[in-house]
Structure 1
Amino acid sequence: MNTWIGIGLALIALLGGGFLYGWQGVMLALTVVVFWLLLQFSRLMRVMKAASEGPVGHVDSAVMLNAKLRSGMKLVEVLPLTRSLGQKISEQPETYGWTDAGGARVELQMEKGTVSSWQLIRPDDQAS
């Protein structure tokens, strides 16, 4: 969800609760907003824990990862696909790589926290 949409919904809930039910409505809306934030934090921690248990820069199948990627994905959506943290290849542009057992590699370029482009590099592509 877009950050601004989330902030807008939280403000609408707080104002709506205040107008309809007074301070009790504000407290209920605040409770719901905090609960939502805790759910998001819990999801992020589960994704990071699962990714940290795998070897850095390794993926089961680079070809399958390549097929599942799409522009605009956030890193928190990519990590469950790879089940590992990517190996940082370069700083500008921000590029991460995952290699499978056969030597195929997926290089992922991130821009502002989202996937901007990626490429699959096979072992025979590197030789020529």
Structure 2
Amino acid sequence: MQSNVKTLVWLVAAVSVLMVGYYNRGWAGFMLVLGAVVFFILLHLTRVMKILKVASGTPKGRISSAIMLNSKLKQGMTLLQVVQLTRAIGEVQGDPNAPQVCHRWTDPGGAWVDAVFVNSKLQNWQFGRTENPVETSPESREAT
């Protein structure tokens, strides 16, 4: 619900600014403000596309360190902010159309972070590790 109110506030603000531009400078003011509003929207879309382009180059749900992700997460972050932080799209656990969606990011050592999003906002997350850690190389076995 809060997202709908926020969208409505932005829409009312844009229409108000357009009206002020028209009132002060006529059609020239209206067009100037319209150009500024379109520019703002394009800046936001460019940011989203840049984040998704970086995430598309990484395997789904894979990150370098789940511990670092766990320490950087904050309640209320948007899904886009978490994708920007991880540089990967999380693997969806369960039904993607449910009100609460759980995404999982896993690191090469077998540790993972499950993040629960409600309306694309981070509500809670859980860090976990496998019982038997994955060995990264044969040399590490010989060193012990």
> Which position in structure 2 is the counterpart of 1:119?
126
Name the SS of the counterpart of 1:123 in structure 2: coil
Matches within 5 A, 1:72-87: 72-87=76-91
> Which position in structure 2 is the counterpart of 1:23?
27
| Aligned amino acid, residue 120 of structure 1 | F
Deviation, structure 1 residue 3: 2.6
Q: 2:66 aligns with which of 46, 62, 68?
A: 62
Name the SS of the counterpart of 1:17 in structure 2: helix
Matches within 5 A, 1:83-122: 83-91=87-95, 92=98, 93-122=100-129
Q: What is the CA deviation profile of residues 52-99 of structure 1, one whole-angstrom value per residue up to 9, with x for unaligned ones?
A: 100111111101111111111111111111111111111243111000
- The answer for unaligned runs of 5 or more in structure 1 is none
| Aligned amino acid, residue 88 of structure 1 | V
Residues of 1 paired with 2:65 and 2:9: CA distance? 36
Name the SS of the counterpart of 2:70 in structure 1: helix
Considering only aligned residues, what root-mean-square deviation do their CA atoms show, in Å? 1.7
| Aligned amino acid, residue 96 of structure 1 | H
Residues of 1 paired with 2:47 and 2:88: CA distance? 16
> Which position in structure 2 is the counterpart of 1:53?
57
| Aligned amino acid, residue 81 of structure 1 | L
- The answer for unaligned runs of 5 or more in structure 2 is 133-144
TM-score, normalised by the number of residues in structure 2: 0.80
| Aligned amino acid, residue 3 of structure 1 | T
Following TM superposition, where does structure 1 have runs of at least 4 consecutive aligned residues deviating by more than 4 angstroms?
Answer: none
Q: What is the CA deviation profile of residues 31-62 of structure 1, one whole-angstrom value per residue up to 9, with x for unaligned ones?
A: 11111111111111100000010011111110
The number of equivalent residue pairs is 125
Residues of 1 paired with 2:12 and 2:79: CA distance? 24
Residues of 2 paired with 1:23 and 1:70: CA distance? 45
Deviation, structure 1 residue 123: 2.1
